[in-house]
């Protein structure tokens, strides 16, 4: 059976897989990673699969219909996000109109959070795979491949029968043995153009993967644990991860960096240390970056990660005010963040710092505290963006219950260019002020003479760093001079 895994058309270089889907200011563009993992599972199960990333190549719906006409899939799996959901449904409608026999399945955080609303508003959709969907898609494909499919047996599936009745199957348990899932990097090489993908804080070209799923922390804004992968941490074995590093080195030799896209790679410090030891043992030569918390104050662990090839840690500092951090349930102390930043500089690990403005209890004074804090810890790169709330998260419920939502029209989650546009209008901090402050913060941070000199010096020391800095700067400069 032929299966099309589709990251559908929307705005060019729109990253659905980002924790805050948008067209980024820095040019960062994510792999359709979760679609790729599910593709790996399907191919392992013997299905003929095609993975298409429309935003990467700026494909239109007409282009997708041509692909479908030639490929003749029985099942089309459509990736979704909150800002793009109307266009995602429109794509499903076009496919269904072209071929009524195709089973249209939608996946992703938005439809997992709002399955009933999505199914009711989009008759073209035959089903939704809730949450972690790798095995749900696989089991659905097995059933559809039979002469008489029994969809009631597919855990994690919501589906519509021929009479229009919507069935809700049992929820699927999370995957415990992640080593059973094939390497996502193999899927990238087979189906995608690796040069399409870029992270502004990392060397180019880059390959992304995860070493674990689920996060035990309860940050009220974070969408993946709340809508897709849960709060129980599940990890690949260090050997399995190291084997993928070796595979990338041997088969994607031009990759300059690996990005570990776990919600928090360092949440299990023992596992992080064991992986570092394994990478040192195999003499890993591919630099890697990873998402991390700012509560690592273990110098020896950071030193070992550096020896293993860790070049950069992407860290959610979020705020420079302790009360605001507590309000958003970050579980982080300002003192820990300061110590972490000092230790990273001491061992030579770069930091990309993320800051969110507009959280519960935020004032103009706390915003300024955050900006001064960012300057104080002085990461290699930073991003400031307004709080983005998505259905299924505690942050969304907070905004809705307090009547802070400007609109529940999901197209308002982006501006005309596809960038973030906050939909929160707190009387104390209107949405326009939050956007203004983010622009101001970027300018004040990046246009400091000392910072500019440091980036020039960094670029003279490494061609890879110079290429990254120049590529990012060319995309980013218009936002620094924006008024």
Dist CA 125 CA 92 (whole Å) = 7
127-129 and 157-160 as β-strands: parallel, antiparallel, unpaired?
Answer: antiparallel
pTM of the full structure? 0.95
Name the token pair of 376: 């104080």
Dist CA 269 CA 301 (whole Å) = 8
Helix (H), strand (E) at residue 196:
none
Which residues are 354's β-sheet partners? 316, 383
pLDDT at 308: 98
Q: What residues have CB less than 8 Å from 42, skipping those under 6 apart?
A: 3, 5, 49, 137, 138, 141
- Nearest CA to 206 out of 293, 311, 281 is that of 311
- Could you list the beta-strand ranges (E) of 35-131: 48-53, 75-79, 103-107, 127-129
**Residue 368: other Cβ atoms inside 10 A:** 15
Dist CA 97 CA 138 (whole Å) = 25
Q: Do 264 and 219 touch, CB atoms closer than 8 A?
A: no
pLDDT at 469: 61
Helix (H), strand (E) at residue 92:
helix 85-98
All structural domains of the chain:
2-168 (3.40.50.280), 199-480 (3.80.30.20)
Give the count of alpha carbons within 13 A of 191, CB side only. Answer: 27
pLDDT at 467: 65
Diameter over CA atoms, the chain: 69
Q: What is the pLDDT along the chain (483 residues), one digit of tens a residue?
A: 999 999 999 999 999 999 999 998 888 999 999 999 999 999 999 999 999 999 999 999 999 999 999 999 999 999 999 999 999 999 999 999 999 999 999 999 999 999 999 999 899 999 999 999 999 999 999 999 998 999 999 999 999 999 999 999 999 999 999 999 999 999 999 999 999 999 989 999 999 999 999 999 999 999 999 999 999 999 999 999 999 999 999 999 999 999 999 999 999 999 999 999 999 999 999 999 999 999 999 999 999 999 999 999 999 999 999 999 999 999 999 999 999 999 999 999 999 999 999 999 999 999 999 999 999 999 999 999 999 999 999 999 999 999 999 999 999 999 988 988 889 988 889 999 999 999 999 999 998 888 888 777 777 767 667 666 666 665 556 656 654
For the chain, the C-alpha Rg in angstroms (whole number) is 22
pLDDT at 249: 97
Dist CA 51 CA 188 (whole Å) = 9
Dist CA 14 CA 80 (whole Å) = 11
For 357-404, the DSSP string reads ES-TT--HHHHHHHHHHHHHH--SEEEEEE----TTSHHHHHHHHTT-
């Amino acid at each position: 059976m032929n299966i099309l895994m589709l990251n559908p058309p929307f705005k060019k270089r729109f990253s659905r897989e980002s924790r805050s889907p948008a067209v980024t200011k820095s040019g960062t563009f994510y792999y359709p990673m979760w679609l790729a993992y599910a593709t790996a599972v399907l191919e392992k199960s013997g299905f003929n699969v095609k993975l298409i990333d429309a935003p990467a190549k700026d494909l239109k719906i007409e282009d997708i219909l041509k692909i479908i006409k030639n490929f003749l899939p029985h099942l089309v799996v459509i990736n979704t996000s909150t800002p793009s959901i109307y266009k995602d449904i429109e794509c499903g409608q076009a496919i269904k109109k072209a071929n009524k026999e195709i089973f249209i399945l939608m996946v992703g955080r938005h439809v997992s959070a709002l399955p009933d609303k999505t199914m009711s508003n989009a008759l073209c959709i035959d089903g939704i795979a809730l949450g972690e969907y790798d095995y749900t898609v696989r089991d659905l494909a097995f059933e559809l491949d039979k002469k008489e499919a029994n969809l009631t047996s597919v855990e994690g599936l919501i589906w519509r029968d021929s009479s229009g009745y919507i069935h809700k199957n049992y929820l699927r348990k999370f995957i415990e043995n992640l080593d059973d899932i094939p390497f996502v990097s193999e899927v990238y090489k087979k189906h995608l153009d690796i040069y399409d993908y870029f992270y502004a804080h990392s060397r180019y070209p880059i390959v992304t993967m995860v070493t674990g799923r689920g996060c035990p922390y309860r940050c009220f804004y974070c969408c993946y644990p709340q809508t897709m992968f849960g709060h129980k941490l599940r990890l690949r074995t260090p050997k399995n991860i190291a084997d993928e590093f070796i595979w990338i080195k041997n088969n994607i030799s031009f990759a300059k960096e690996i990005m570990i896209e776990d919600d928090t790679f360092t949440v299990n410090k023992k596992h992080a240390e064991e992986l570092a030891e394994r990478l040192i043992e195999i003499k890993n030569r591919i630099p890697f970056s990873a998402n991390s918390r700012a509560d690592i104050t273990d110098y020896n662990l950071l030193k070992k990660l550096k020896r293993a090839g860790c070049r950069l840690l992407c860290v959610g500092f979020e705020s420079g005010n302790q009360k605001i951090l507590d309000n958003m349930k970050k579980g982080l102390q300002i003192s820990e963040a300061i110590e972490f930043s000092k230790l990273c500089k001491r061992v030579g690990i770069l930091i990309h710092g993320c800051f969110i403005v507009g959280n519960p209890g935020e004032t103009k004074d706390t915003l300024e505290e955050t900006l001064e804090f960012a300057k104080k810890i002085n990461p290699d790169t930073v991003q400031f963006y307004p709080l983005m709330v998505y259905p299924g998260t505690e942050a969304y419920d907070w905004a809705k219950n307090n009547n802070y939502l400007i609109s529940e029209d999901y197209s308002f989650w982006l501006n005309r260019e596809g960038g973030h546009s906050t939909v929160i209008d707190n009387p104390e901090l209107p949405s326009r002020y939050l956007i203004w402050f983010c622009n101001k913060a970027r300018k004040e941070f990046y246009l400091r003479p000392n910072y500019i000199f440091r980036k020039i010096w960094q670029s003279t020391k490494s061609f890879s760093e110079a290429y990254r800095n120049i590529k990012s700067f060319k995309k980013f400069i218009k936002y620094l001079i924006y008024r």
